[in-house]
């Protein structure tokens, strides 16, 4: 087996593991908790709280009609998955950190898309807060997307360029 095939299998595994972990944790929450039930894990800091989010991140568009949300999230999901796939395919094979990050983002996007297709909303259950100030609840897919984006930003910010910018290579006097 060549290195390219092994790398592709690792990327597919990262994406698949995130999807599997996301769906298994959501299934566990749905089977063991009632909607809006909250179980403190670390008092005044972290709870497991079963919530269904019909909107986007942070509940955006939650008040919109079901039809609008389905069309909007369907189109944006198709666009996002296409964009992530294109980015992944166009990244140099040597850019391992970038490719792993995109694979994680892709896994998270697919995990939340599965929820939207199955339930018309996303299952959230990780509730971080300080006293009465809550961060919006999230899930494993959201975490993978966030971590992937942060790593990708840091990676690109500190990436060493080997090719000079196009303007410097010009031979125009």
> 123 has which bridge partners?
52
d(CA 36, CA 71): 27
The percentage of the chain sitting over the pLDDT mark of 70, rounded to a whole number, equals 88
Q: DSSP letters of 117-156?
A: HHHSSEEEEEEEEETTEEPPPB-HHHHHHHHHHHHHHHHH
Flag whether pLDDT at 170 surpasses 60.
no
Catalytic machinery residues: 124, 142
d(CA 159, CA 148): 16
d(CA 104, CA 13): 10
Query: Nearest to residue 100, comparing CAs of 57, 144, 139?
Result: 144
pTM: 0.84
pLDDT of 162: 62
Task: Judge whether 99 and 11 are in contact, CB under 8 Å.
Answer: yes
- Interval 102-147: pLDDT, tens: 999 999 999 999 999 999 899 999 999 998 898 999 999 999 999 9
Burial of 136 (0-12, 13-18, 19+ CB in 10 A): middle
Residue 168's pLDDT band, with cuts at 50, 70 and 90, is low
> 76 has which bridge partners?
none
User: Domain residues of the chain, as ranges?
Assistant: 3-32+43-158
């Amino acid at each position: 087996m060549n290195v390219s095939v092994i790398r592709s299998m690792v990327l597919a595994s990262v994406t698949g593991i995130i999807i599997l972990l996301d769906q298994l944790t959501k299934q566990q929450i749905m089977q063991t908790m009632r909607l809006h039930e909250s179980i403190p894990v670390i008092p005044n800091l972290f709870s497991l709280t079963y919530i269904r989010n019909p909107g986007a991140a942070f509940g955006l568009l939650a008040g919109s009609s079901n039809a609008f949300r389905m069309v909007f999230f369907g189109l944006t999901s198709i666009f996002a998955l296409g964009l992530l796939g294109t980015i992944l395919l166009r990244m140099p094979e040597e850019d391992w950190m970038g490719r792993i990050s995109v694979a994680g983002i892709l896994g998270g996007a697919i995990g939340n898309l599965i929820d939207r297709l199955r339930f018309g909303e996303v299952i959230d259950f990780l509730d971080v807060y300080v006293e009465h100030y809550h961060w919006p609840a999230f899930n494993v897919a959201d975490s993978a997307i966030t971590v992937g984006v942060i790593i990708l930003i840091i990676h690109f910010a500190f990436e060493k360029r080997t090719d000079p910018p196009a303007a410097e290579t010009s031979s125009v006097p």
